[in-house]
Amino acid sequence: MEEPKLQITKRQTLGDQLYGQILEQVVSGKLGQGERLPSENQIAGAFGVSRPVVREALRKLQEDGLVEARRGVGSFVRRRPPEKLIEYATAESVAGLMRAMEARITVEHTTARLAALRASPRDLARIEAALLQLEASMQARTPSVAEDYDFHRAIAAAAGNDVFIQMLDCTRGLIERGIDVAQKLTRGGSQARLDLVIREHRQIFEAIRAGDSEAAAVCMSYHLLQARTRITDNTEPL
């Protein structure tokens, strides 16, 4: 690992800042795929942080599939994210975006399941209208953050519990930042990748319309897990 260009500051969580610093090294290719990271002591000394901070950053990098730990050997770069990731989002913000995706999986798994059980014809019409707008904007490769959010919010509304809507709305800014990054990467990708993302959304809707609560929950979780992976993996398609 090369010497860090910036020093860790206390304006953000130290673990997230260190996550960002290591992420930059991986995205730039200074740490290559399959390459071993320096030891915890070396990273702590290079960045002027404690070993618990290093462990926190490495844990998050492992959870996001960027780094893998090999018992008794050390940590290695598992995969290299798209180069444009840190153009669309600051390196330090990626950890927060990924934690937001993690929380969304938990909440929206449930909203999709309940929507399949409780959605009225009006709810289904609202979800489908949002889906059609999302599909049109994605096929045109135009920004569609609002359309994507509206689709997920319509599902939350169909769950029949206003608290779910409030949970999404109070974190809308963070959710939309994650959607924005994912969509920018998708718009710049292959047609196969674009079609895959569109299909994931449609599968969620079809399961809800069919009243299949388990399928709806699984499709939603799968879509959000894939969205997380697409943010941190430069292979095509995902």
Provide the CATH number for the domain around residue 45. 1.10.10.10
Give the pLDDT band of residue 176 (cuts 50, 70, 90): very high
What count of other Cβ atoms lies within 10 Å of the Cβ of residue 16?
21
Query: Does 149 lie in the same domain as 112?
Result: yes
Query: Does 133 lie in the same domain as 62?
Result: no
Give me the percent of the chain exceeding a pLDDT of 70: 93
Average pLDDT, the chain: 91
The confidence score (pLDDT) of residue 83 equals 85
The confidence score (pLDDT) of residue 233 equals 80
pLDDT of residue 138 exceeding 50, the answer is yes
This prediction's pTM: 0.85
Task: Identify the domain containing residue 228 by its residue range.
Answer: 96-232
Closest CA to 210 of 130, 138, 119: 119
Residue 163 buriedness (CB in 10 A; 0-12 / 13-18 / 19+):
exposed
The confidence score (pLDDT) of residue 5 equals 44
Query: Which residues have C-beta within 8 Å of that of residue 67, sequence separation ≥ 6?
Result: 22, 37, 58, 61, 75, 76, 77, 78
Residue 5 falls inside a structural domain: no
Closest CA to 138 of 169, 182, 105, 100: 182
**What are the pLDDT digits (tens) for 63-110?**
998 999 998 899 999 988 888 898 899 888 898 899 999 999 999 999
Query: Does 151 lie in the same domain as 58?
Result: no
Which CATH number goes with the domain that contains 124? 1.20.120.530
**Domain total of the chain:** 2
Query: Does 146 lie in the same domain as 43?
Result: no
**What are the pLDDT digits (tens) for 50-60?**
999 999 999 99
Residue 108 falls inside a structural domain: yes
Q: Which amino acid is present at 10?
A: K
Q: Which two tokens stand for residue 8?
A: 């860790």
